[in-house]
Structure 1
């Protein structure tokens, strides 16, 4: 007799979980019910700017919205889970129909963080997280007008890129001293900012949004920054980070991590042996991870546990990143910030050529620990594969000659 897996959330990580489970379920042990809050099935959230630039919804979808004949997956879009009864093993939904489970995976993701500044609710203020957000931004975009993107991380730079493609004059405001502070070091972030400025996007780091001012019609007219600068703007897009969606924790009687998220162990298990959490809502050993790669690892681990009960623990997540942002290639891998005790850093910067490369090694210079690349990420695959291994040549030679 088949068992029922209920997955709450239908983002990229939930999609990977379901795909891995069905691919490995040769004995057809499981039927799957997916409860997605958005009106679409899973889509590529990383490349939302493609939709902003005009790509259709279908170009981002990860799965066919039409169910396949004989499918063991029932996908409920536009369905919000509002409670979990662990004793009866039921998930309650806003439409009112409960779903019984033998196993439950919480993949509720994150919500955008909007700084609590005056005027943040003015007409013309948007978040940048979902397809609905992007559609609203695209409908409001006016070529030649100014837009302010709050946040200089991955999503903020994606938003800025899309707005620039729509013909808007774009400002990026980042409270940290540099762009992409999680992935890049100070020289790499500085070079990225300089290159983006040279290509027509204003970048302001080390300064935060203080307030949004609206005109007589209630629409955004300008923003004030903490350094006293006032920028004219017809639109403000908030892409300043996320917070885990863990609203179901209290109702379900499940513990949360110190900074939010469903508290799980290294196998993504909650204290309830029938309930797991994966992706941005999962606080693995108390820590949430905002990148998709760690979420994929969680999804694959839980799928393996559901199939045969075995899986490797989560361990240290792979936070490697390789992207093209506003036309600039950027990559980081391993211990990019040299947090390892005794680590050494070797760097080469060519401002004229727009290239920066840094390698981090063990104290004896023999083992590669991580690195940063800006402008040319061609060496990324090879360097990433060398992390944790002895270097074939010196770090200096590897930087200069590849």
Structure 2
């Protein structure tokens, strides 16, 4: 008997669930209905900045023709879910349709956090999340070459947005409340190197800076950003990229529990308290914790698919994820590995910095002085693949030799 899987959301992780179920369901047990909020099928959000650099939207698409043409797939674009009835096992959509399910996977992702400062909703304020957002930013930046643009937020997404505005020819200011850029991934030394190098590219960096207001001009649109210290950055374009919040709006109406900090609360099998309802990706709070990178989301998708396709019980669980990451931001290589902030009791930090050369490296070792717990690299991330492979293992050579390794 054919069963129906409904996936709410068609971002990168929801798409992975759909494609893997269809590819691995050789017995034809499942039909898959995907309720997508956007008008486009899933695309690569990690590469959004390349779109403003001239890459076509079609090149970012994750939906291959064989997926879109699969007769077992019912992909409904521009049709977000608005309510879940767990008793009748149905989902109501924005167009009034009611879709029944045997299994339901919530993959609603996250939404940009916009600080509630006065003026945050003025014309000229944007977020950096979807292709439609980027189209709006591009239109607003037309003819603005050489003029200032402000990004509120100096984390990963904020620096991606800064790089995008720079590609559009704007003079970019990054405003970050923390004392360093990428405060989640980098320590102060790494953040300082990153800030120095992107300043050399012409990007103004304002750390330990609190946005007080977005000020309007005579026409009612953005004219500037006022910081708490009185500094006024004149601009007609502001991009808020100050983090994200899990999209768990359906939880309250459906009677599903949320974690204390938001997100659908799930166990390590990604199941809610309803054993027919799972959550994956940025909207899932696995035993209370949300994961904001694509790789953990793909791991979650794998766990759920294995449960859906298992003939009997499966031991597949999500045991957390390695949040190590290597990035190139505004042309600068940075990497964060394991316990980058040395929070492990007894941890030892080994730092090697070359301010003149624009590089910084830190390894975090266990109290035995040999086991690698984490690290930070900025300016030169060539040792990253080797160091990541050695995480929680004893180093095979002295620290200075490990940091000098080149692939």
TM-score range normalised by the length of the shorter chain: over 0.9
Aligned partners of 2:271 and 2:277 also within 8 Å: yes
70-79 vs 218-227, greater mean Cα deviation: 70-79
Task: Please list the CA deviations of residues 25-60 of structure 1 after superposition, one character each: whole Å capped at 9, or x if unmatched.
Answer: 222211111111011111111121111222221011
SS in structure 1 at match of 2:290: coil
Report the CA distance between 1:23 and its aligned residue: 2.5
SS in structure 2 at match of 1:353: coil
Alignment CA distance shift 1:265-1:124 (3 Å)? same
Answering whether residue 116 of structure 2 is matched by residue 78 of structure 1, we say no
Task: Please list the CA deviations of residues 246-304 of structure 1 after superposition, one character each: whole Å capped at 9, or x if unmatched.
Answer: 11001111000001110001111100000000111111111111111111111111111
Report the CA distance between 1:184 and its aligned residue: 0.5
Consecutive unaligned residues in structure 1, runs of 5 or more: none
Aligned partners of 1:365 and 1:395 also within 8 Å: no
SS in structure 2 at match of 1:337: coil
Answering whether residue 309 of structure 2 is matched by residue 314 of structure 1, we say no
CA distance in 1, matches of 2:279, 2:29: 21
Aligned partners of 1:102 and 1:274 also within 8 Å: yes
The TM-score normalised by the length of structure 2 is 0.96
Answering whether residue 347 of structure 2 is matched by residue 362 of structure 1, we say no
CA distance in 2, matches of 1:382, 1:155: 26
The residue aligned with 2:212 is 210
The residue aligned with 1:337 is 341
SS in structure 2 at match of 1:74: strand
Number of residue pairs the alignment of both structures matches: 402
CA distance in 2, matches of 1:371, 1:343: 11
Task: Please list the CA deviations of residues 324-360 of structure 1 after superposition, one character each: whole Å capped at 9, or x if unmatched.
Answer: 1001011111111111111111111111111111111
Instruction: Output aligned runs, 1:64-75, within 5 Å.
Output: 64=64, 68-75=68-75
Report the CA distance between 1:70 and its aligned residue: 4.0
The residue aligned with 1:139 is 139
Aligned partners of 2:81 and 2:91 also within 8 Å: yes
Aligned partners of 2:383 and 2:404 also within 8 Å: no
Report the CA distance between 1:394 and its aligned residue: 2.3
Task: Please list the CA deviations of residues 344-394 of structure 1 after superposition, one character each: whole Å capped at 9, or x if unmatched.
Answer: 111111111111111111101121111111111111111101001111012
CA distance in 2, matches of 1:196, 1:68: 41
Consecutive unaligned residues in structure 2, runs of 5 or more: none
- TM-align CA RMSD: 1.3
Aligned partners of 2:152 and 2:241 also within 8 Å: yes
Counterpart of 1:295 (choices 294, 297, 310) is: 297
